[in-house]
Amino acid sequence: MNKTTHFEDLGAREYKDTWDYQEKLFKHLVDLKGTNAKLPVSEREVTPNHLLFVEHPNVYTLGKSGSEANLLINFVEMQNIEATFFKTNRGGDITYHGPGQVVGYPILDLENFDLGLKEYIHALEEVIILTLKDYGIDAGRLDGATGVWLDPDNKMKNRKICAIGVKSSRFATMHGFAFNVNTNLDFFGYINPCGFTDKSVTSLEKELGRKQDFEAIKMKVKEKFVAVFGMEFL
């Protein structure tokens, strides 16, 4: 199993450009796995893994099973707040990406990590849970909802700090997670985040009461990928 992972911090980049780049890496991985499946084990090529970090300008993305009704503003209003909208091929409903948010796109061969899809989602959540623990925040999972939540056992207080939505084929993955660090949470007011009408959203800045060192957080998340997945970064 190859746990070597090509890491790229793309910095600030438009959503569609990054999506196209993901699709290119994903297609190569899926095609290679398809070719390998027809070959004897001794002739198969090693499949690559990638982890992309990026920070998007204001954008709303809708998962393939989501409802456009969860976007609460029209396209003229969206222009007024300088946001864009995309229907995507990931799972989940609607979410927001924007400045101050660590977005991670793992394009992985799950067979390299001996993971099924459900275990993979659990591992992504664990990366953020462990990151938050280093900042003194106790986070967890909410039954019936993916992502990372604070106070998940308290219906009156539970709030999401990290959304997760992925696509998979042949145990290859794309899309990933969006971790609110110094995110402007006002933008979540224009949607029903992840389709929920009765749950709120938070950020690390809001929970700790001060703006966070964004680059330091990215390094911390990267470290937790090593701890949880056993990745070796190139």
Catalogue the active-site residues.
194
3-class SS letters over 30-97:
HHHHHHHCCCCHHHCCCCCCEEEEEECCCEEEECCCCCHHHECCCHHHHHHCCCEEEECCCCCCEEEE
Structure tokens at 76: 């003229």
Could you give the angle at which helices 214-229 and 117-133 cross, rounded to 10 degrees?
130
DSSP symbol at 109: B
> 210: Cβ–Cβ under 8 A, 6 or more apart, which residues?
none
Q: Residue 47 carries which side chain, given as an amino acid letter? A: T
Q: Are 6 and 48 in contact (CB under 8 A)?
A: yes
Distance CA 55, CA 59 (A): 11
Nearest to residue 142, comparing CAs of 194, 208, 64? 194
